[in-house]
Amino acid sequence: MASAQQNCIKSSRRCGKTRRKRIYCDPSRPISCSHDDSLKLIRIWMKKEFGFKNKLVPAVFPTTGRGLMTRKSIRPGEILVSLPQRLLITTQTVLDSDIGKHIKRWKPKLTPQQCLTVFLIWEKHKHTESPWFPYINMLPVTFTSPGYFSSTELSFLPKCVRLKVDEVLEKLDCSYREVKHYSKYHWTELYDILTYDLYIWSWYVINSRSVYYQSNHSKYLSTDEPDNIALAPYLDLLNHSSQANVKAGYNAITNCYEIITYDVYKPYQEVFISYGCHGNQKLFIEYGFYIPDNCNDVYEISYDDILNACEHFSVKYKEKKLDLLKHHDLLKNLVCTMDGLSWKAMTVFKTLAMEWRHLEKWSQIYTETDIFNDLLPIVNTMIVFILQPYLDDNIQLMKQLQIQKQQADLNPVHVEIIEQLLKIENSILTKTLSM
């Protein structure tokens, strides 16, 4: 086994013994993956089979884990990765493969994500016989996504995250049962190898590593979901930063999937892309991680909670107000952040608090920032009514988690994620309640 010292990135080829020792002691340095056989194999395979060359190399970073690092400076406008189209795994790749005949016969038709999930399971089973073995071999064997949390662990998540997770896991379970059921009667080789564990592994690979790639919709696949995902080997080693400024897409001239960065990187820095403007709830649910100080974190107020508040406070002209708000598209994405209620949410609560005389000049809400501020005390009462129970709930969950983590068999990585999600939500709720 390679020692930690051997694995360290050296900042200069000429560095002597003392320098190497210092680098070894520095926990903020990335650790080179040059001794990882699976990563060596994928690079050799991509170069030999596809002529793929790249200036980014895999490394393990202290805060983000395995990712890609540049050895040279990168300037804005540079191409980070240019992946030949033949290296993408799209639904067309699946339909053209030896299992295409099964996919084309499937009833009811598979969604694009199910299609890719089944393909990955099948190719993984083929092991070294699969042309994709070098890629599948370097994929993580487990994830920290909700499907990998025990039911006890899930019960400690903030309520609104738990509700969203329940929905996703229900969908995942349903998708598995559909595939298992169909394969039992029409594709027994798949049925024999298919387990729920294998299915969720494959599902999360597709969910957390796919790039946006618009395929021509095949008549063999369900149109319930758009066909716009593809696996992009090697490129999918890039981690997420909400600050990353990149452009990604297929270049029809070069026939490559390209990522261009508009950021500056120094040698030996981790290079990032952005998976989207996601808060930590979404990052956890879709990708199984969170980032500290995420500027996209929000707490979303549900429509049901708005209706409950209307009921509790016997809001006057309720139907008229809700119609008005709906008409102006103000009843969706009602959030609060570390800056308090969003303008949209504030507008909804001000409207609910209005008397008829206010409603008559309602449209001024768009032009005058401080208008209707005489309604703020009522708005605050409604906010406390809605948000305080969630904050109290989270404080209880946090207390119970501290006790349970000493006793129960909880995964420490999962516990850390749960604690962070609770803390983030508590900060937003506390800040909003104190405004």
Which stretches of the chain bind ligand SAM, using CB under 6 A?
A: 64-67, 140, 208-209, 236-241, 287-289, 291
Q: Which value, to the nearest 10 degrees, does the dihedral of the CA atoms of residues 104, 109, 115, 121 take?
A: -90
End-to-end CA distance of the chain: 56
Beta carbon of residue 140, minimum distance to ligand SAM (angstroms, whole number): 6
On the 0-12 / 13-18 / 19+ scale of CB atoms within 10 A, 311 is exposed
Residue 118 in 3-state DSSP? helix
Nearer to ligand SAM, 67 or 112 (CB): 67
Beta carbon of residue 59, minimum distance to ligand SAM (angstroms, whole number): 10
Nearer to ligand SAM, 178 or 419 (CB): 419
Beta carbon of residue 29, minimum distance to ligand SAM (angstroms, whole number): 17
Residue 258 in 3-state DSSP? strand
Beta carbon of residue 411, minimum distance to ligand SAM (angstroms, whole number): 14
Beta carbon of residue 327, minimum distance to ligand SAM (angstroms, whole number): 40
Helices within 313-411 (DSSP H only): 318-327, 343-353, 356-360, 376-407
8 A C-beta contact, residue 253 and residue 220: no
Nearer to ligand SAM, 209 or 350 (CB): 209
Beta carbon of residue 87, minimum distance to ligand SAM (angstroms, whole number): 15
Residue 31 in 3-state DSSP? strand
Beta carbon of residue 328, minimum distance to ligand SAM (angstroms, whole number): 37
Beta carbon of residue 248, minimum distance to ligand SAM (angstroms, whole number): 12
**Amino acid present at 242:** S
Contacts of 162 (CB under 8 A, 6+ apart): 154, 155
Nearer to ligand SAM, 67 or 147 (CB): 67
Nearer to ligand SAM, 89 or 103 (CB): 89
Nearer to ligand SAM, 230 or 238 (CB): 238
Nearer to ligand SAM, 209 or 321 (CB): 209
Residue 268 in 3-state DSSP? coil
Cα–Cα distance, 141 to 162 (Å, whole number): 25
Output the DSSP codes for 271-307. Answer: EEE---S--HHHIIIIIS---TT-TT--EEPPHHHHH
Nearer to ligand SAM, 256 or 417 (CB): 417
Beta carbon of residue 67, minimum distance to ligand SAM (angstroms, whole number): 5
Contacts of 43 (CB under 8 A, 6+ apart): 234
Nearer to ligand SAM, 145 or 426 (CB): 145
Cis peptide before 108 (omega within 30 of 0): yes
Nearest to 233 by CA among 270, 263, 205, 267: 205
H or E segment and range at residue 169: helix 159-186
Cα–Cα distance, 394 to 162 (Å, whole number): 12
